[in-house]
Amino acid sequence: ATEEEITPHLTDRVTLAALNAANSLVISGDSDQAHTIADHFTTLGRKTKQLTVSHAFHSPHMDGMLDDFHQAATHLTYHPPTIPIISTVTGNPAAEELTNPR
């Protein structure tokens, strides 16, 4: 499905976790709702696959640990990269966003 096709099916319990290609994406969140969404697209003849993961990463299920994670990250030392890193979000070189706990 495309992002435009999947968006109307998303809820506060199931979100878009990754956009791997124009027609290849990952949803994450509550298993029952994610299965309902996948079943909908399967009936349309789309290929779906349940990923084997330990947690609903990239979903609101992870929000509860963000403050603790940030607190731990504040104890690290950050430096600008010495090898160029291209952001998978923007497609541009990443630098400033890699040098702080957020």
pLDDT in tens, 22-74: 999 999 999 999 999 999 999 999 999 999 988 888 888 888 999 999 999 99
What confidence score (pLDDT) does residue 95 get?
82
Token pair, residue 72, equals 């731990």
41 with 1: CB under 8 angstroms? yes
The pTM of the full predicted model, rounded to 2 decimals, is 0.71
Residue 14: which of 1, 28, 25 has the closest Cα?
28
Using CA atoms, how far apart are residues 53 and 67, in angstroms rounded to an integer?
Answer: 23
- DSSP class of 92: S
Going by their DSSP bridges, the two strands 93-94 and 85-86 should be labelled as: antiparallel
What confidence score (pLDDT) does residue 1 get?
92
Residues of the chain with CATH 3.30.70: 1-58
Q: Write the CATH number of the domain with boundaries 1-58.
A: 3.30.70
